Amino acid sequence: MNTYAAIYEVVAQIPYGQVATYGQIAELAGLAGKARLVGYALYQVDPQQGNIPWHRVINAKGMVSESPLRRGTDHWQQALLEKEGIVFDAQGKVNLRQYRWQPKPISPIGN
């Protein structure tokens, strides 16, 4: 599916030590508003492949999405992010304002 291929391409662009939300990936992949497709596509990716930084993709809440279908890979994802220097708070959330990937910075300082 070309649709998923676009998603993988965008995910592969996420730099080390940064994260992106499903919605952000969807938008960059030309699937604005269809964040579910991103998560669905990542589900089909083999976690052991390593050619795709799937662990750098989290939901808009800044948390790692958990699901029984993932067999605990959700916790693995958080561990990988922590190894990249990303810090999780007590609620298991990351500071998106700080770690969110910005492919196209809008304001240098933020006005």
Judged by the rule CB under 7 A, the positions of this chain that interact with DNA are 1, 3, 21-23, 26, 33-40, 42-43, 45, 47, 54-55, 57, 59-61, 64-65, 67-70, 73-74, 77
- Nearer to DNA by C-beta: 69 or 109? 69
Q: How far is the CB of 68 from DNA (least distance, A)?
A: 7
Secondary structure (3-state) at 108: coil
- Nearer to DNA by C-beta: 68 or 110? 68
Distance CA 108, CA 83 (A): 28
Q: How far is the CB of 13 from DNA (least distance, A)?
A: 17
* CB count in 10 Å sphere of residue 58: 25
- Nearer to DNA by C-beta: 54 or 99? 54
Distance CA 66, CA 86 (A): 18
Secondary structure (3-state) at 78: helix
Q: Where are the beta strands (DSSP E) in 35-108?
A: 57-58
- Nearer to DNA by C-beta: 85 or 96? 96
